[in-house]
Amino acid sequence: MAKGLKEGSQIEEGKGRCGQGRRLNQVGREKVTLNSLKEEKRRNFEEIALEERLKSEKIDVSLYGYSSKKGAIHPVTSTMNKIIDYFTV
């Protein structure tokens, strides 16, 4: 349609450039409306997927957690414990 605006010979009788411009503007507005609707649907699907994922990943906080040892005994402390064990046995 935009190509038709450049070429005056292809303009339909009774429409003119003004009518085609209005139609292009209307199509542009419809495109914006469709894009906003598409974006809203996408956000809704993402929210639903997030809710489903959160439901499936529930954590029972009343259960005991996993204990993990972090780090190691200092070499001086280890040596002191060995010396104490040697003389007390």
Helix, coil or strand: residue 38: helix
Q: Give the residue extent of every domain in the chain.
A: 1-56
pTM over 0.75: no
Statement: residue 71 has pLDDT above 60: yes
Sign of the dihedral defined by the CA atoms of residues 56, 61, 67, 71, in that order: positive
Does residue 83 or residue 3 have the better pLDDT?
Answer: 83
From CA 88, how far away is CA 65, in angstroms rounded?
37
Per-residue model confidence as pLDDT tens digits over 1-57 = 555 555 554 545 446 778 888 888 888 888 888 889 999 999 999 999 999 998 888
